[in-house]
Amino acid sequence: MWGSGIGILHKGYCVVGKLNLDQLQTFALVVRQGSFSAAGEVLGLTQPAVSLQIRQLEQRLHVRLLERVARRVRPTSAGEALLEHISHINAAVDHALSDMAGHAQEIAGTVTLGTGATACIHLLPTLLRELKQAYPLLNVGVRTGNTDDMVKAVEENRIDIALVTFPANGRSLQLTPLLQDEFAVIFPADSPDLPATFTPQTLGALPWVAFESGSSTRRLIDGWFLGAGVKPAPVMELGSIEAIKEMVAAGLGYSIVPRMALSGTRGDALTPALERTLGIVLRQDKPLSRALQKVLASLHTLKK
């Protein structure tokens, strides 16, 4: 357990003493997970052990930090205030670790990168291999999800950086566009009587294998159709680009996919053209460790 002499001011009272950083992180995790048991599963601790950490933290601060609302654990007003302090404490600790790492000759440490499944499959492998070859002590962890989830994870400091489909919105974020990726339409190899041009009108009545509803890619494609007043009904909605390609290959319909995901599959241009922007999402107050700087520099090589 780490301890730190930290004074926290809340509603006129100053609590001075050693705050246990592990207890602070446990408290923040309980809030994120919504229960003691769920936080315990993440930490590898029993529910009583998690409860004990929270109780000791409340005793140290002389305030109640959590309350149960509609079967979920929620922070009290004091708990909300503490969460803000924890964000600053984490930033200070990250800065200290970054500063110490700066004294080392080797680029080392862990950077967590969030991205979509398509970019993970078709953009990151070569980039990550080159980083590992150049900096053997640098570990880049990758998490996948939709844009909204990855942006939220950056905001909450659960991941360091994200490479996602724009637009992306959030508080105090630095957004850097990197590259444009055109969409293409794919059909089963034996499709007869394909239209001469692939417009919203010519595609709207055909069986469509779509990305799952709510994803940023799906919103872009829906917008392309709606711009022409067309509302197609998908025959299926899938979260995996590779699953979509397999369904199309099996003759179950056509799909509209990012061109980077074609990998030898024939893709035809849309009329009008449809593109997406991929970019970097980073907290504006994020300390740039040497490890994170190297990952950022590597991502910028994708820029077009």
Which residue, 79, 95, 111, sits at the end of a domain?
Answer: 95
Q: Are residues 286 and 219 in the same domain?
A: no
- Give the CATH number, domain containing residue 120: 3.40.190.10
Is 115 part of a structural domain of the chain?
yes
Q: Which residues pair with 7 in a beta bridge?
A: 16
List, for residues 232-288, the tens digit of each pLDDT value: 999 999 989 999 999 999 999 999 999 999 987 889 999 999 999 999 999 999 999
Is 7 part of a structural domain of the chain?
no
Q: Are residues 173 and 133 in the same domain?
A: yes
Q: Are residues 163 and 135 in the same domain?
A: yes
Which residue, 66, 95, 124, sits at the end of a domain?
Answer: 95
Q: What percent of the chain has pLDDT over 70?
A: 92
Is 10 part of a structural domain of the chain?
no
Instruction: Say yes or no to pLDDT of 74 above 80.
Output: yes
- Give the CATH number, domain containing residue 87: 1.10.10.10
Is 5 part of a structural domain of the chain?
no
Band (210; pLDDT cuts 50, 70, 90): very high
Structure confidence at residue 102 (pLDDT):
61
Show the domain range for 54: 21-95
Is 132 part of a structural domain of the chain?
yes
Taking the whole predicted model, whether its pTM rises above 0.85 is answered as no
Instruction: Say yes or no to pLDDT of 27 above 50.
Output: yes
In this structure, what DSSP letter does residue 259 have? G
Q: Are residues 171 and 294 in the same domain?
A: yes
List, for residues 79-136, the tens digit of each pLDDT value: 999 999 999 998 888 888 877 766 555 788 999 999 998 999 999 999 999 999 999 9
Instruction: Say yes or no to pLDDT of 14 above 60.
Output: no
Question: Mean pLDDT, to the nearest integer, of 45-65?
Answer: 95
Q: Are residues 36 and 81 in the same domain?
A: yes
Is 9 part of a structural domain of the chain?
no
Is 8 part of a structural domain of the chain?
no
Structure confidence at residue 10 (pLDDT):
41
Q: Are residues 140 and 284 in the same domain?
A: yes
Torsion angle, alpha carbons of 13, 16, 20, 24, to 10: 20
Helix or strand (DSSP H, E) at 99: helix 77-101
Structural contact between residues 49 and 87, judged by C-beta atoms closer than 8 angstroms: no
Question: How many domains does the chain fold into?
Answer: 3
Instruction: Say yes or no to pLDDT of 11 above 60.
Output: no
- Rounded Cα gap, residues 32 and 39, in angstroms: 8
Q: Are residues 71 and 117 in the same domain?
A: no
